[in-house]
Chains A and B, each alone.
Chain A
């Protein structure tokens, strides 16, 4: 079956594999009714909490990182250096917050009577789907991008294959390339299984409980809502769901900060670059394209729409995330996976710009183990000829070197201006004739005013001429 034949049947295969008619949410023009889509399942937040608790998911501890906060404060002006809190999501079933998302997808698959589920993921979501499918008695296939053309596997992804197999899943391991989607569609068609997409409403509503818990935990412990919550951003569901949960709890003034590992310069579809990166998720290669064009995902309309909620987008380099992973172990006695600590690295730097009475929450950790341990990743990088050095991490060149901060004082983040991201989003519509409802939709999509959207669109069309 040719690549194009299968891709042409995409909509039809998707509809069957989700039993959801996305057409009902479409507006005339470019937009769709996001809130209608999100509430179409009929689940309330209470329902989601109940389903997760029954599966040993959620209710993870929120821990104040006193020593790590004090370390950051050393490099801040007097009166500055926020208190850093960490939501220990590694304690979920399967070792990451992804279990929250999987719990809802699996529940839905079971309710609709599907015999099994399929998920396209190389990350923690695979283990989460596999674990929850095991509990539900559903068959499970995980499709991974795993090896380069020399058959060398990324250690973190190999570990994920092991975890999925441990939960009884079938793991289809593929080489580098976007054709993963082709194979995924073929498998959906062959098996008739449910598409446990990260981007369905179920995949995102499962995260709302995380934002909700963060708001409630901080309120209970400290008598206020946190000033900021940092979310590692890749596909956008983590940030979207967390922000929605915070709002549902009433924390409407909490700043929502996105954090990604800066992999600028590495091509995500490159067979050569694949094993030159030390992070397989939470990086700019996913975070930026999925923020600025959410509907590139594996469903007709993605439920993960981070620019609707994001107040700031910060980047940290690979060396800084490894450094903070070591600091978390040494100072707080918490050995966790490096990818999950992306937001922690950003928080360490950002806290120094906030008052020492402010609270900044890092909303995840992930499990660590063989392959997905920082030493496994750094040694793998070293074996591929990546130069390792101490210095200024902002000078790191992904694919060439890893620069670890030579002092905590050197661990700094970069910021991508929100306007740049929003303009980049709007560029997808530059050739289209837009009407008033379209501008209103775009304003909602970008958390801004109709006037701003019009000004930016004019600027884009001006540049085009």
Chain B
């Protein structure tokens, strides 16, 4: 069980596929409209449970508990050889500049 007031992320379907806006491309229309949100867990629960959280603005939101202690792991990307090629082009073409 995860203790109350633990920082978690929830997931909720806002609109199931059939209730989505008309005039969507087919690949969008066939999937549900979803939300992810972080906050503090109000009552002890397990991953996968339907829970309530308190958000940063102190709203109460509901959804499925999907992760505990969520964090950011975005980065600068892996090495891409073409980025070196671009750099080489620019350096070569500007060598004679003052």
Co-complex (A, B): yes
**A residues engaging B (CB < 8 A)?**
2-3, 67, 70-71, 74, 116, 139-141, 146-147, 149, 153, 155, 158-159, 161-162, 165, 168-179, 182-183, 190-191, 267, 269-272, 322-323, 326-327, 330-331, 370-371, 373-380, 382, 388-390, 404-408
**B residues engaging A (CB < 8 A)?**
14-15, 19-21, 24-25, 27-28, 31-39, 55-59, 72, 74-80, 82-83, 85-87, 89-91, 93-94, 97-98
On whether A139 and B57 interact (CB within 8 A), knowing A326-B90, A375-B77, the answer reads yes
Q: Of A139, A155, A330, which is within 8 A of B74 by CB?
A: A155
CB pair B20 A375 closer than 8 Å: no
Task: Provide the bound-state CA to CA distance between A389 and B68, in Å.
Answer: 41
Contacts beyond the supplied A175-B34, A191-B57: 19 A-B pairs with Cβ under 8 Å: A67-B97, A116-B57, A155-B74, A165-B56, A179-B33, A182-B15, A269-B25, A326-B83, A370-B76, A375-B77, A375-B83, A376-B74, A376-B77, A379-B77, A379-B78, A379-B79, A389-B82, A390-B86, A408-B89
Chain A nearest CB from B42 CB (Å) reads 16
The residues of B that contact A405 with a CB separation of less than 8 Å are: 89
Nearest CB in chain B to that of A157: its residue: B74
The residues of B that contact A267 with a CB separation of less than 8 Å are: 25
Q: Of B82, B90, B98, which is within 8 A of A378 by CB?
A: B82
CB pair A272 B27 closer than 8 Å: yes
CB pair A330 B87 closer than 8 Å: yes
CB pair A378 B57 closer than 8 Å: no
Task: Provide the bound-state CA to CA distance between A408 and B89, in Å.
Answer: 8
Across the A-B interface, the 9 shortest Cβ-Cβ residue pairs: A379-B77, A149-B31, A170-B56, A371-B74, A376-B77, A175-B34, A271-B28, A173-B36, A375-B77
The residues of A that contact B55 with a CB separation of less than 8 Å are: 170
Chain A nearest CB from B56 CB (Å) reads 4
The residues of A that contact B31 with a CB separation of less than 8 Å are: 149, 175, 271
On whether A174 and B77 interact (CB within 8 A), knowing A67-B97, A378-B82, A378-B83, the answer reads no
The residues of A that contact B78 with a CB separation of less than 8 Å are: 379
Chain B nearest CB from A341 CB (Å) reads 13
- Residue from A146, A271, A380 having most chain B Cβ neighbours under 10 A: A271
Nearest CB in chain B to that of A376: its residue: B77
Chain B nearest CB from A378 CB (Å) reads 5
On whether A70 and B97 interact (CB within 8 A), knowing A271-B25, A326-B86, A375-B83, the answer reads yes
The residues of B that contact A176 with a CB separation of less than 8 Å are: 28
Task: Provide the bound-state CA to CA distance between A330 and B83, in Å.
Answer: 12
Chain B nearest CB from A207 CB (Å) reads 27
CB pair B33 A390 closer than 8 Å: no
Chain B nearest CB from A389 CB (Å) reads 7
Chain B nearest CB from A115 CB (Å) reads 9
The residues of A that contact B21 with a CB separation of less than 8 Å are: 3, 177-179, 182
Nearest CB in chain B to that of A373: its residue: B76
Nearest CB in chain A to that of B98: its residue: A70
Task: Provide the bound-state CA to CA distance between A170 and B55, in Å.
Answer: 6
Cβ contacts A to B, 18 pairs, < 8 Å = A71-B90, A71-B97, A147-B36, A155-B77, A161-B72, A162-B74, A165-B38, A170-B55, A175-B33, A177-B24, A177-B33, A179-B20, A326-B86, A330-B87, A370-B76, A373-B77, A375-B77, A375-B80
CB pair B75 A376 closer than 8 Å: yes
CB pair A407 B93 closer than 8 Å: yes
On whether A271 and B82 interact (CB within 8 A), knowing A139-B57, A175-B34, A375-B77, the answer reads no
